[in-house]
Each structure stands twice: as C-alpha cells, then as structure tokens.
Amino acid sequence: MGLEFTAAGVDVDERQHPGETADIMVVRLAVEKTRAVAPEPGTVVLGADTAVVLDGEVFGKPADQADALRMLAMLSGRRHQVMTGVAVRSGSAAKSVLSVTEVTFREIGPDEALDYWQSGEPCGKAGAYAIQGLGGVFVESIAGSYTGVVGLPVFETAELLRSAGIEPPAELKDAL
C-alpha cells in the first residue's frame, strides 16, 4: 500500500479457547497482537491472524510432517474457509474486521502432499499451505479475498487504516 512500517514480532498464545468459534478467535488474536506492542505515542499498530477452517475445525500451523499431511489430506477435493482477523489500534482505541474467503482444493495425492511438505513451504502456514507459493497449485477456486488467504486482506486493512487516520500516499490515493 506504499506505507512505511516497522514489523514487530509478538508473543501471543494462539490457541483456540474452549467453545470459541474460528471467526471470534482470529479477531481476538489480531486485537491481542496489537495490545502486545508498546508503541511510541501517535503510532498506529496493526495486528492480524489467519486460520483455515474445515467443517468447524480450525487448522492452524502444522506441528510436524504428520500434522501437515493430515491437513492436506482433509482439505483435498474439498471447500474450506480461510478467516483472517485484522485489528488496528491507535492509543486505546481499537477497531477490527474479519475477512472470510471460500477456497476449493482439487484432489491432492499422498505423494504430492509429501513432496509439498518436503519443499518446506507448509511450515508455519495455517492449513499447511501458501496460496501465493507452490500451494497455489492445489487451489481450484476462491470466492473472496485472495490477499486474505495470503494473510493480510488489503482492502479491509486499508479501510481500517483510513479509520485510524492513515491515508495511502498521494500517488495511490487518486487510484483508490
């Protein structure tokens, strides 16, 4: 979006609370990530969290190879949701939004899933895949935000930043 920023890693427990739905969880985590940063006065903090959801089950980052292969096998030939919560905090005020995208995978064979795991790409990725990388070959279709599946829905993020007083650079403003 042409904005200058500083990335800050935060330590937030990303586990789902008992009885918590995925949509509530990703928004909660996005807000918690903004609260885990002690910004300079006047600084706006952005946080986001993404989960892959199939039949109500949240697929976070795979714990190991077996977990990744299990996720890919379950997603194979099925439609699932990718939910990304985004939050912006300015001072004590926080606003958040949820992006939900429907993703349909083609069938994935066990050998192909193993080859994909061995590429290293699924490590650290919700649902054990990256749509913007090699994992994109599994995606038959999407309905919703491509950038939300990547992990930061640009449209929704831009709207939240505007609400916090951050406008895009002048050269982009006219195009938006």
Residues with Cβ within 8 Å of residue 4, at least 6 apart in sequence: none
pLDDT confidence tier of residue 11, bands split at 50, 70 and 90: confident
| Domains of the chain, earliest start first | 22-163 (3.90.950.10)
**pLDDT reported for residue 3:** 78
Q: Which amino acid is at 97?
A: V
**pLDDT reported for residue 95:** 94
**Model pLDDT for residues 125-170, shown as the tens digit of each residue:** 999 999 999 999 999 999 999 999 998 999 999 999 998 888 766 6
Which strands sit side by side in the sheet containing 57-59, from one edge to the other?
57-59, 44-54, 79-90, 93-105, 139-143
Supply the residues annotated as catalytic. 49
pTM of the shown model:
0.89
Closest CA to 83 of 135, 127, 31: 127
Closest CA to 158 of 141, 138, 175: 175
pLDDT of 61 over the 70 cut? yes
